[in-house]
Amino acid sequence: MIEALIGAAVTTPTKTTGTTTTTRNPNAKIHFSFRTYANNVRVVPPLVGRFQLGTAISYGSGVLNPDGSVASGGVIRTVNRNTNPRITSSIWARVLSGRRSFGSGFVSLRLVVEVTGSNSPQNCVVGTRGSIVLVDEDRPIGNGQTGDSVRSAYPRSGGFTRAPDGGASCRSYVQGWNNTDGGRRTSPARGGPGGGQSAVVAISKA
């Protein structure tokens, strides 16, 4: 359970409000891109141990057809560089499908992904499926940054769920990023691009 928190406690995604509705233009292709960053330097809640310190990044882009299938791109890269112990773990994933929805002042995109490469196969197996939720919200939050957020969760049904070491496959990639200020937990303390944690998301609104 503690191992599962390694990624989950990196950051806490921004909570958005509003009633989700269906896509405005069902015939439009969906373009998306995102990049995230977090640098945890001190054990402050929600972190629970020094093993959670270090940097975590994720990025990707692609184009989806109106039915949610992949038209082009759709490659996701995630890298964790932990400092206690010092180790780098990373995965590649491909987007299998996506579903866009609109809310009050934001657009979200839920991607179903599958791991295609892993440098730690003992705890993250190629073929594991996950979900990545992107939120594109231009309205500023308290520190003036956008309300963009990204969260990822593994494993999901349809692929491997258990790793050779006996734990849930790809559990260290259960993560979240946003633009809130990290305080003493991150370096720098401020959130947003150039800060200690950030999420930049673009989803076509057509």
pLDDT along the chain (206 residues), means of 10: 40 42 70 97 89 94 97 97 93 98 95 98 97 97 98 97 97 95 96 98 90
Strand, coil or helix: 133: strand
Dist CA 53 CA 66 (whole Å) = 40
Res 24: pLDDT: 62
Cα dihedral across residues 22, 25, 30, 36: positive or negative: negative
Q: Give the model's pLDDT for residue 54.
A: 96
Which one, of 16, 78, 56, lies nearest residue 203 by Cα?
16
Q: Which residues pair with 72 in a beta bridge?
A: 63
pTM for the complete prediction? 0.87
Residue pair 199/39 in contact (Cβ under 8 Å)? The answer is no
Nearest to 102 by CA among 15, 24, 35: 24
Residue 84 near residue 53 (C-beta atoms within 8 A): yes
Q: Shortest CA distance to 117 belongs to which of 81, 88, 92?
A: 92
Q: Which residues contact 85 (CB under 8 A, 6 or more apart)?
A: 51
DSSP string for residues in 96-118: EEEEEEE-SS-EEEEEEEEEEEE
- Residues contacting 29, CB < 8 A, separation 6+: 63, 64, 65, 66, 71, 204
Q: Rounded to the nearest 10 degrees, how much is the dihedral formed by the CA atoms of 204, 137, 178, 152?
A: -50
pLDDT of residue 23: 42
Confidence (pLDDT) at 37: 98
**What phi and psi, each to the nearest 5 degrees, are found at residue 49?**
-160, 165
30-40/54-64 β-pairing: antiparallel
* Rounded Cα gap, residues 43 and 181, in angstroms: 15
